[in-house]
């Protein structure tokens, strides 16, 4: 009986998937020499799910 319960628990754990957070858009504004690109590049190195896009790609 304990083996069946353990088997059911392990199969249930393999079905459970983590809940993903919705994407967030971060817009950096400022003059051309303000360091926006440098900041975005540093942020993308720290976060695996961070993508740098150009203003032309935002529709």
- What is the pTM for the complete model shown? 0.45
Domain membership flag for residue 57: yes
- DSSP letters along 6-53, please? HHHHHHHHHH--PPPPPP------S-TTS-HHHHHHHHHHH-TT----
Domain membership flag for residue 31: yes
User: Considering its fold, how many domains does the chain have in total?
Assistant: 1
Query: What pLDDT does 6 receive?
Result: 46
Domain membership flag for residue 10: no
Query: What pLDDT does 23 receive?
Result: 72
Give per-residue pLDDT as tens, 24-46: 777 888 888 888 888 888 888 87
Q: Which domain holds residue 42?
A: 20-59
Collapsed DSSP state (helix, strand, coil) of residue 52: coil
The DSSP 8-state label assigned to residue 58 in this structure reads -
Domain membership flag for residue 7: no
């Amino acid at each position: 009986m304990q083996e069946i319960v353990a088997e059911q628990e392990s199969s249930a754990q393999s079905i459970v998937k983590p809940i993903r957070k919705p994407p967030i858009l971060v817009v950096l504004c400022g003059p051309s020499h303000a360091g926006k690109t440098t900041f975005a590049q540093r942020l993308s190195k720290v976060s695996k799910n961070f993508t740098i896009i150009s203003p032309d790609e935002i529709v």
